[in-house]
């Protein structure tokens, strides 16, 4: 039984005169599963995660498809019904821990917002829960961090606070949108470990958006590769990393330099592969027109 089932999701950008930005995307997420959404810029990975979070910009229009979450189609709910789910059953770990936190408010009020406003907890209870959460994300001095303003914390600490906030509502689904892109590599590893540990402990499903195939390999159970808003390859992570089927996935794996393979020459993705991908997109668009 899927927690989230996206079926044939298509969307266009009205800003660019109706350019397709999602083309018939389907994906399933089981409870407690971590799925990687991977692709280069413009692939559609953040459009999918925004659709799930109800955060699509006005310029993006869904033309087809559904996103069934716990039996309800997120795409046909009223904004009032959607607000009950997002920020509570579905939460976000954002990319940039600096801009995601309000610089003028202490961590305590930001961390406990949801608990007070959506769960109706008293300030005392919310504070107690906030301290527990900070301990859970291995923050050593939770009392001090509660009183701190965001700028007083390091990037890694801020990201821990945001992970605590994302799990505070005991969500069924967490969308992690490039949560380690802005971090140093040693901090990235700690944050990846923490997300995986929190997700396992709470049985939460995670959509992990990233452009880094190395990160996917280490943290995701399954992976979906996108190009031009279309699913190019999907399957179990280990299998795809060892035996990629689509030439684009093969080329991406070959293109990334690796410190452990000095003998491997730099191999940019050949233009012929992009030509093939563009042909796949065009053929999808022709089918859409034919069947309406």
Partner 1 sequence: MADTLLSASNIEVAYGAARNIKVLHGVDLTIAKGETLGIVGESGSGKTTLGRALLRLVDVTNGTVTFDGMDITRLGETAMRPLRRRMQMIFQDPMSSLNPRHSIRQILTGPLLLHGLATDRRDAERQASKVIERVGLPLTTLNRNPHELSGGQRQRVGIARAVVMRPDFVLADEVVSGLDVSTQAQVLSLIGELGREMGLAVAFISHDLSVIRAICDRVMVLQGGKIAEEGPCGSVFEAPRSDYTRALLDAIPLPDPMPGWLER
User: Does residue 268 belong to the site contacting partner 1 (CB under 8 A)?
Assistant: yes
Residue-wise DSSP of 109-138: HHHHHHHHHTS---HHHHHHHHHHHHHHTT
Query: Position of tokens 């399957």?
Result: 235
Q: Which stretch binds partner 1 (CB under 8 A): 59-67, 76-84, 158-166, 213-221?
A: 213-221
Residue 114 token pair: 């949801």
In the region spanning residues 26 to 45, those forming contacts with partner 1, defined by CB under 8 A, are: 40-41
281 binds partner 1 (CB under 8 A): no
Q: How far is the CB of 216 from partner 1 (least distance, A)?
A: 7
- Residue 219 binds partner 1 (CB under 8 A): yes
20 and 43 Cβ atoms separated by less than 8 Å? no
- The nearest distance, CB 197 to partner 1, in angstroms, is 9
Least CB distance to partner 1 at residue 138 (A):
14
Rounded to a whole number of angstroms, the minimum distance from the CB of residue 203 to partner 1 is: 18
193 sits near partner 1 (criterion: CB under 8 A) = yes
CA dist 117 and 108 (Å) reads: 14
Say if strands 72-73 and 60-69 run parallel, antiparallel, or are unpaired: antiparallel
Please report how close the Cβ of residue 21 comes to partner 1 at its closest, in angstroms.
17
User: By CB under 8 A, what part of segment 125-184 binds partner 1?
Assistant: 155, 184
Q: What is the DSSP string of 133-161?
A: HHHHTT-S-HHHHHH--GGGS-HHHHHHH
Q: What string of H, E and C letters represents the secondary structure of 234-269?
A: EEEHHHHHHCCCCHHHHHHHHHCCCCCCCCCCCCCC
Q: Does 218 contact partner 1 by CB under 8 A?
A: yes
**CB under 8 A: which stretch of 29-37, 85-93, 145-153, 210-218 binds partner 1?**
210-218
**Selected range binding partner 1 among 61-69, 114-122, 130-138, 187-195, rule: CB under 8 A:** 187-195
Q: Are 35 and 29 within 8 A, CB to CB?
A: yes
Distance of CA 139 to the CA centre of its chain: 23
Does 51 sit near partner 1 (CB under 8 A)?
Answer: no
Q: Which two tokens stand for residue 254?
A: 């070959």
Does the protein bind partner 1 through residue 259 (CB under 8 A)?
A: yes
The answer to whether 213 contacts partner 1 (rule: CB under 8 A) is yes
User: Is 276 a binder of partner 1 (CB under 8 A)?
Assistant: no
Question: Which residue of 60, 148, 217, 281 would you call a contact of partner 1, by CB under 8 A?
Answer: 217
Kindly state the smallest distance separating residue 239's Cβ from partner 1, in Å: 9
Residues 236-255 that bind partner 1 (CB under 8 A): 237-238, 241-242, 251-253, 255
Distance CA 286, CA 266 (A): 36
CA 271 to chain centre: 29
Residue 269 as a binder of partner 1 (CB under 8 A): the answer is yes
Q: Are 36 and 29 in contact (CB under 8 A)?
A: no
Footprint on this chain of partner 1 (rule: CB under 8 A): 40-41, 155, 184-189, 192-193, 196, 211-219, 237-238, 241-242, 251-253, 255-260, 262, 266-269, 274
């Amino acid at each position: 039984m899927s927690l989230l089932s996206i079926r044939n999701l298509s969307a266009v950008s009205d800003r660019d005169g109706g350019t397709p930005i999602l083309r018939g995307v389907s994906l399933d997420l089981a409870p407690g599963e971590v799925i990687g959404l991977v692709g280069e810029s413009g692939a559609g990975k953040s459009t999918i995660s925004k659709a799930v979070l109800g955060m699509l910009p006005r310029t993006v229009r869904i033309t087809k498809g559904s996103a069934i979450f716990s039996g309800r189609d997120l795409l046909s709910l009223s904004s009032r019904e959607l607000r009950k789910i997002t920020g509570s059953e579905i939460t976000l770990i954002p990319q940039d821990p600096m801009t995601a936190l309000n610089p003028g408010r202490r961590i305590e009020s930001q961390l406990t917002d949801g608990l007070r406003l959506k769960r109706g907890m008293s300030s005392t209870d919310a504070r107690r829960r906030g301290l527990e959460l900070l301990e859970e994300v291995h923050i050593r001095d939770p009392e001090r961090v509660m009183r701190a303003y965001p700028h007083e914390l390091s990037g890694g600490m801020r990201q821990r606070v945001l992970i605590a906030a994302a799990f505070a509502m005991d969500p069924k689904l967490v969308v992690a949108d490039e949560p380690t892109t802005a971090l140093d590599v040693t901090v990235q590893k700690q944050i990846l470990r923490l997300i995986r540990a929190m997700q396992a402990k709470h049985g939460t499903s995670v959509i992990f958006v990233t452009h880094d195939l190395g990160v996917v390999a280490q943290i995701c159970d399954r992976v979906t590769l996108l190009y031009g808003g279309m699913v190019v390859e999907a399957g179990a992570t280990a299998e795809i990393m060892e035996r990629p089927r689509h030439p684009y996935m093969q080329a991406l794996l070959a293109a990334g330099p690796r410190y452990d393979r000095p003998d491997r020459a730099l191999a940019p993705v050949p233009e012929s592969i992009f030509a093939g991908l563009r042909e796949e997109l065009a053929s999808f668009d022709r089918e859409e027109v034919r069947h309406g």
